[in-house]
Amino acid sequence: MPRLYTVGHSLHSIEQFNKLLNSQAINCVIDVRSTPYSKYSPQFNTNELRKFLSINHKSYIFMGEEFGARRSESSLYDIDGLLDFEKVIRSALFQAGVKRVKSGLNKGYKIAFMCTEKDPLDCHRSILVGRAFQDEAFEVLNIHEDGSVENQKSLEERLLDLYFPDRNQTSIFDILEGGKSKDELVVEAYRLRNKEIGYKIGNEAGII
């Protein structure tokens, strides 16, 4: 099973960030921020980051057009102006990005998707991008700020705990009467998280 990683730069020093990459032997960082600049952590602005990674024998690729959480296509937003992650995954541009990532893996790159947020549960790198690649039969591993690694399945358990904490109390009668399966609850949990963290037109405080 091919493997991909996600990581958030948060407020790390660039040296700390590099240690996180080295801990998993990452040699290619794909930037999935829509705007590859940070007001609070300028060391992660695209030019500075590219230069630093190059010195440290790592590749930097900006793919905010393909995988970013703010999109120019109006058809990807719902009637309330919220970006619909499921529509994004099905879009031609996103799927072109998937093909490019697969090509990079075939060339031997060990890839991490990078965005800003510390916790992958709060970031589209996992709720949008990681989910999409897991659905493509990739193993997705989310690197936390302390260097620990959480696979996408474990992240989904956290999603379920967040939105459906009483799910394990469901009885066989609930299932027979049309209660949702675990897989259906996971899909619903992703949708609920999309609503909480997704970019909404006119809300500049939304996700990057």
The model carries a pTM of 0.92
- What is the DSSP pairing of strand 59-62 with strand 28-31? parallel
Q: Which domains does the chain have, with CATH numbers?
A: 3-197 (3.90.190)
- Residue pLDDT tens, the chain, 208 long: 899 999 999 999 999 999 999 999 999 999 999 999 988 899 999 999 999 999 999 999 999 999 999 999 999 999 999 999 999 999 999 999 999 999 999 999 999 999 999 999 999 999 999 999 999 999 999 999 999 999 999 999 999 999 999 887 765 555 544 578 899 999 999 999 999 999 999 876 545 5
Q: Residue 114: which of 161, 61, 183 has the closest Cα?
A: 61
Cβ–Cβ < 8 Å for 118, 40: no
